[in-house]
Chains A and B, each alone.
Chain A
Amino acid sequence: MAFFIWVLLAILLLIAIIFVYYFNRFVILSNRIDNSLSQIDVQLKKRADLVPNLIETVKGYAKHEKKIINEVTEARKALLKAKDISSKVKAGDQLQTALKSIFALAENYPNLKANENFLHLQQELSAIEDKIAYARQYYNDAILIYNNSCTTFPGVFFAKIYSKQPKEYLKIAPSEKSVPKIEF
């Protein structure tokens, strides 16, 4: 009799451990997703912080290019206003496009192009662009792992119990799908 009680206890303990394991696994995985989201957020914020500085520098050389300057300012405002991550990322993409036209504009203004401050900001912003891309990649990786454990057996069983749903991937804007260029 005592033997059966021990076996029963062992089985119950095992089941409890499995339940705790899967609960923790889902928590860890969704924390990872949240963390990678905040990484994207940090980079977007950094980019937005650099923009006023850039605008000031550009204004010094190309005052009458109001349209492009306004575009950048608006995109920055939209980014700061955005609440959830998907609208933030979307605003970030818009800002990215607007910044590209600023850097293209600089081709017409040799003095601006040679400005040290401008060059520095350009480098910083392109570095941030890389970081945003990598942070998004990691976010999607984290989502993939989470979704895999939500939808494969036996995770799918526990996902139902803890009512966890697969999460959405971040969509990549068409402009960002281009192949990275290689410098020599």
Chain B
Amino acid sequence: MQQRLSFEDEITKNKIKSFLLIIIIFAFFVLLGYVISFVFDPSYFFFIMVISIIFSLSYVLVSYYYSHNIAIASVGAKPASPIKHRNFFHAVENMVLASGLPMPKLYVMESNEINAFASGRNPRNAVICITTGALNKLNKQELEGVIAHEMSHIANYDIRFMTLTTVLIGMISIISQIFLRNLWFASRDREERENAIFFLIAIIVAILAPIAAQLVSLAISRKREFSADASAVKFTRYSPGLISALQKIKNEHLSPEQTNKEKITYPKALAPLFISDPFKKKIQNLFSTHPPIEERINVLKKM
């Protein structure tokens, strides 16, 4: 863990910032709800929750429509120049021709490690962002493989999917919240203890539902990586390109000294969009956004 401390630090900073933001918003709503319920009736708390649902929905909508801008800004990427990043442009133009998708906007982020991500709500508003490390270390075929993988994410509307799951998980947690809250009020109002077991089960379900939804979405995200790899091969007709790019990424994961110097902050929400998990968890588990690289290579080799 300690070798990527600075890397993690930056992420933590970002997390704290967004967490604080959520806390402030939430506190505001609770305060408002408290004031209103103090004046009128505790049942008004419900009304506040409805408002908070509308608010979070509009928040999600905004992030949906500006997802690519947010993603680009959060990694500090700059627009790619057609002269300096000529290889990048050529690779993307080739994949545009091979996939029949519109040309995405191109960005480059300063980083030594090989990685890339795509964002945008639909192919017309797509962006592809790549690290300078990827541009320097990958040859033409490998670069095309990586770009093809990202173009597949765009073509498969994976970004839209990720946004929808975010909304879904958000809604599930809000509903559980409402339920738990009502339960609390209910049990206070009438002192019935007859169906205590039912209440206990309901509480457990309400707590576990958001976690379960998260796990399901991560499992789907891993599946989507495989399908993006497959489409990438369909676009390039040359699986060795992507295989050797993944191999290079894997070797990089094994020697993490480089990332020590990395100062790039990857927002966690972006992780599923990268070609390889930017957080490089050593242990593959239920909370991984990407399948293990070896497995992806094996699947690709069979194509």
Question: Are B98 and A134 in contact, CB atoms less than 8 angstroms apart?
Answer: yes
Q: How far is A43 from B93 in the complex, measured between Cα atoms in Å?
A: 11
Question: Are A138 and B93 in contact, CB atoms less than 8 angstroms apart?
Answer: no
Question: Are B139 and A184 in contact, CB atoms less than 8 angstroms apart?
Answer: yes
Enumerate chain B residues within 8 angstroms of A43, measured Cβ to Cβ: 97
Assess whether A36 is interfacial by the CB under 8 Å rule. Answer: yes
Assess whether A32 is interfacial by the CB under 8 Å rule. Answer: yes
Question: Are B90 and A180 in contact, CB atoms less than 8 angstroms apart?
Answer: no
Contact of A32 among B100, B139, B238 (CB under 8 A): B100
Assess whether B78 is interfacial by the CB under 8 Å rule. Answer: no
Chain A contact residues, majority secondary structure: helix
Q: Known A180-B141, A182-B139, A183-B140; judge A134-B97 contact (CB<8 A).
A: yes
Q: How far is A35 from B99 in the complex, measured between Cα atoms in Å?
A: 12
Q: Known A180-B238, A183-B139; judge A138-B90 contact (CB<8 A).
A: no
Least distance between B32 CB and chain A CB atoms (Å):
49
**Contact bitstring B86-124, A, C-beta under 8 A = 1, else 0:** 000010011101111000000000000000000000000
Give the total of A residues in contact with B, Cβ under 8 Å.
Answer: 18
Contact of B237 among A32, A137, A182 (CB under 8 A): A137
B37-96 contacts to A (CB < 8 Å): 90, 93-95
Assess whether A130 is interfacial by the CB under 8 Å rule. Answer: yes
Chain B interface size, as a band, is 10 to 19
Question: Are A138 and B94 in contact, CB atoms less than 8 angstroms apart?
Answer: no
Question: Are B93 and A182 in contact, CB atoms less than 8 angstroms apart?
Answer: no
Least distance between B254 CB and chain A CB atoms (Å):
20
Closest to A35 in B: B100
Question: Are B238 and A39 in contact, CB atoms less than 8 angstroms apart?
Answer: no
B118-164 contacts to A (CB < 8 Å): 139-141
Assess whether A135 is interfacial by the CB under 8 Å rule. Answer: yes
Question: Are B98 and A138 in contact, CB atoms less than 8 angstroms apart?
Answer: yes
Q: How far is A45 from B10 in the complex, measured between Cα atoms in Å?
A: 49
Least distance between B7 CB and chain A CB atoms (Å):
30
Contact of B99 among A130, A131, A138, A180 (CB under 8 A): A138
Question: Are B139 and A135 in contact, CB atoms less than 8 angstroms apart?
Answer: no
Q: How far is A142 from B97 in the complex, measured between Cα atoms in Å?
A: 12
Q: How far is A131 from B91 in the complex, measured between Cα atoms in Å?
A: 9
Contact of B94 among A134, A182, A183 (CB under 8 A): A134
Enumerate chain A residues within 8 angstroms of B141, measured Cβ to Cβ: 180, 182
A157-184 contacts to B (CB < 8 Å): 180, 182-184
Assess whether A127 is interfacial by the CB under 8 Å rule. Answer: yes
Question: Are A138 and B97 in contact, CB atoms less than 8 angstroms apart?
Answer: yes
Closest to B99 in A: A138
Enumerate chain B residues within 8 angstroms of A32, measured Cβ to Cβ: 100
Question: Are B98 and A137 in contact, CB atoms less than 8 angstroms apart?
Answer: yes
Contact of B100 among A36, A127, A131, A183 (CB under 8 A): A36
Offer 10 A-B interface pairs, CB within 8 angstroms, sorted by A: A35-B100, A43-B97, A131-B94, A134-B94, A134-B95, A135-B97, A137-B237, A180-B141, A182-B139, A184-B139
- Nearest 10 CB-CB pairs, A to B? A134-B97, A134-B98, A135-B97, A134-B94, A127-B90, A183-B139, A138-B100, A130-B94, A138-B98, A131-B97
| 9 further contact pairs, Cβ within 8 A, besides A39-B97, A138-B97 | A130-B90, A131-B94, A131-B97, A134-B98, A135-B97, A137-B98, A138-B98, A142-B100, A182-B240
